[in-house]
């Protein structure tokens, strides 16, 4: 019997054996392909494929809302109704062609010997063409066309209002997210201070009250974080609803873009402070709601002119072919042709025509007064918006400077507290000031962005 002695393998020997085995394995292409497939399968199984995140900017949110929001579908249907009203008004210029057929039975119950019973058949086609109606058709078509244009302006105004709502929702969500970041930063600062205070307390160089103070500050920051998250969630759901998503949730892979801390570069924003009253009035006239009001006045004027047409006679041409007293539906012997020119004129209608005209004029005057009021309010809103932008720019510049100064102060107070040169109360005060300043800075950024969007809303240039 032979005894085999186990030879220990050193690390060098193991390396050489592994290298030889690898070279032999790679000599076979099938093994390489199998290894690659196995690697890909493992990778595909273990790492789920997630869609890339698409930042949802304000412009993108408006684009989606204007495409998906169901309220715009209603405005589109009103345009379709107005188009059909125009088609109905135009139809009055075409002749009316009618066909009639009937069977009439007459039974004579008198005692006269000559009494007879008879059956008469009616087969007739007729056409009527209005030649003159006091220009009623002309002004009816004008009124219908103004109504169609008014519906188009109403659609643009609905888009303007929707875009403004989306802008407010996006900026509110971005403000809530900034508040989340501020609360997290405050919580981390106080957690770090709590850790340091705990270490000092265990070493006997600090007090337990400092530890409790920072614990309280951490909990306060956590509470603010929860509130900010709730505000953000509510704003996102509201934004998703405006964008037309039925479940009021943003789709997977879509996330709100970060707040843009730089003012939008647009030529019309750079000269806002120097806008004259004439220029502001010119901008206000471009608003869809003012265009809609102007078209409503024109529509009312056309309707008044159409009502005046009842003071004129109606002239129409009639023609027909057939019979009203045939012995049967196929009785061609009694068929005949007729052609006539007719005039109809209402001599007295109880004052209804004058009443319609006065009613239309009163409605026209009401629309004109509403137009003046809307124009005045638009001018006032634009003046206010211009001042808001100027104020927001100045406040943002001041708040940036204040936030930088307060942060420098907080950092100095923190070092002084750590070296025992100042009290805990002063550090709390400095941190509270910084949190407040950061919140005001976020509000200042949002206020300027909102003021610019509001200016575009009041001038009808926000969509």
What's the pLDDT at 266? 66
What DSSP letter does each residue of 152-173 carry, written as one string? Answer: HHHHHHHHHHHHHHHHHHHHHH
Burial of 263 (0-12, 13-18, 19+ CB in 10 A): middle
Kindly report the CA angle at 15 between 11 and 20, in degrees rounded to 5? 150
What's the pLDDT at 283? 80
Residues in the chain: 463
Q: Based on C-alpha coordinates, what's the Rg of the chain?
A: 42
The domain of 213 spans 54-96+133-313+347-459
Q: How far is CA 19 from CA 7, 14, 36, 236, in A?
A: 20, 9, 19, 57
64 in any annotated domain: yes
Strands (DSSP E) contained in 220-308 are 254-256
318, 338 contact by CB (below 8 A): yes
Joined together, the tokens standing for residue 116 give 């007879």
366 in any annotated domain: yes
Q: What is the pLDDT of residues 371-385, one digit of tens each?
A: 999 998 998 998 899
105 in any annotated domain: no
28 in any annotated domain: no
The distance in angstroms from the start CA to the end CA of the chain is: 97
d(CA 171, CA 149): 33
335 in any annotated domain: no
- Put residue 351 in one of left, alpha, beta given phi > 0 → left and psi -120 to 50 → alpha: left
331 in any annotated domain: no
Question: Model-level pTM?
Answer: 0.77
- CATH number of 301's domain: 1.20.1600.10
400, 452 contact by CB (below 8 A): no
Spell out the per-residue pLDDT of the chain, length 463, in tens.
334 333 344 444 444 444 444 444 444 444 444 444 444 444 444 444 555 677 899 999 999 999 999 889 889 999 999 999 999 999 999 999 999 888 877 766 665 555 566 777 888 899 999 999 999 999 999 999 999 999 999 999 999 999 999 999 999 999 999 999 999 999 999 999 999 889 988 888 888 998 999 999 999 999 999 999 999 999 999 999 999 998 899 998 889 998 888 776 666 666 777 777 788 888 888 889 999 999 999 999 999 999 999 999 999 999 999 877 766 667 666 777 889 999 999 999 899 999 999 999 999 999 999 999 999 899 899 889 989 999 999 999 999 999 999 999 999 999 999 888 888 899 999 999 999 999 999 999 999 999 999 999 998 888 8
**Torsions phi, psi for 240 (to 5 deg):** -60, -40
416 Cβ neighbours under 8 A, 6+ residues apart: 422, 426
201, 207 contact by CB (below 8 A): yes
Q: How many domains does the chain have?
A: 1
d(CA 408, CA 315): 91
432 in any annotated domain: yes
120 in any annotated domain: no
- Put residue 269 in one of left, alpha, beta given phi > 0 → left and psi -120 to 50 → alpha: alpha
Q: What is the pLDDT of residues 68-92, one digit of tens each?
A: 998 898 899 999 999 999 999 999 9
């Amino acid at each position: 019997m032979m005894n085999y002695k186990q030879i220990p393998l050193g690390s060098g020997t193991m390396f050489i054996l592994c290298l030889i085995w690898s070279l032999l394995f790679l000599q076979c292409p099938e093994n390489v392909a199998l290894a690659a497939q196995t690697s890909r399968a493992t990778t595909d199984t273990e790492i789920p494929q997630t869609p890339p995140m698409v930042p949802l900017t304000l412009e993108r949110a408006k684009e989606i809302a204007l495409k998906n929001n169901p309220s715009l579908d209603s405005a589109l249907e009103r345009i379709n109704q107005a188009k059909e009203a125009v088609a109905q008004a135009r139809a009055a210029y075409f002749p009316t062609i009618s066909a009639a057929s009937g069977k009439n039975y007459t039974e004579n119950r008198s005692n006269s010997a000559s009494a007879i019973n008879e059956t008469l058949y009616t087969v007739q086609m007729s056409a009527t063409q209005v030649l003159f109606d006091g220009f009623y058709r002309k002004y009816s078509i004008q009124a219908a066309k103004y109504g169609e244009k008014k519906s188009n302006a109403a659609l643009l105004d609905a888009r303007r209002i929707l875009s403004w709502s989306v802008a407010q929702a996006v900026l509110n969500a971005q403000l809530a997210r900034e508040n989340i970041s501020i609360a997290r930063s405050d919580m981390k600062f106080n957690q770090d201070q709590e850790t340091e205070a705990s270490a000092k307390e265990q070493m006997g160089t600090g007090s337990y009250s400092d530890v409790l103070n920072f614990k309280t500050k951490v909990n306060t920051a956590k509470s603010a974080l929860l509130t900010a998250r709730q505000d953000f969630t509510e704003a996102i759901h509201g934004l998703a609803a405006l964008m037309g998503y039925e479940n009021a949730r943003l789709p997977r892979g879509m996330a709100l873009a970060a707040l843009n801390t730089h003012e939008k570069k647009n030529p019309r924003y750079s000269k806002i402070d120097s806008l004259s009253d004439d220029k502001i009035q010119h901008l206000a006239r471009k608003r869809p709601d003012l265009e809609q009001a102007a078209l409503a006045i024109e529509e009312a004027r056309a309707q008044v002119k159409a009502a005046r047409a009842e003071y004129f006679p109606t002239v129409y041409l009639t023609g027909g072919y057939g019979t009203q007293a045939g012995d049967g539906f196929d009785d061609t012997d009694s068929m005949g042709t007729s052609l006539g020119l007719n005039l109809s004129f209402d001599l007295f209608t109880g004052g209804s025509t004058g009443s319609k005209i006065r009613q239309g004029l009163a409605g026209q005057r009401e629309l004109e007064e509403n137009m003046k009021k809307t124009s005045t309010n638009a001018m006032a809103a634009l003046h206010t918006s211009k001042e808001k932008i100027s104020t927001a720019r100045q406040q943002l510049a001041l708040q940036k400077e204040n936030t930088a100064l307060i942060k420098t102060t907080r950092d100095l107070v923190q070092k002084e507290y750590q070296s025992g040169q100042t009290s805990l109360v002063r550090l709390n005060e400095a941190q509270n000031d910084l949190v407040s300043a950061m919140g005001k800075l976020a509000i200042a950024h949002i206020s300027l962005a909102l003021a610019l969007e509001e200016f575009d809303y009041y001038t009808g240039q926000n969509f």
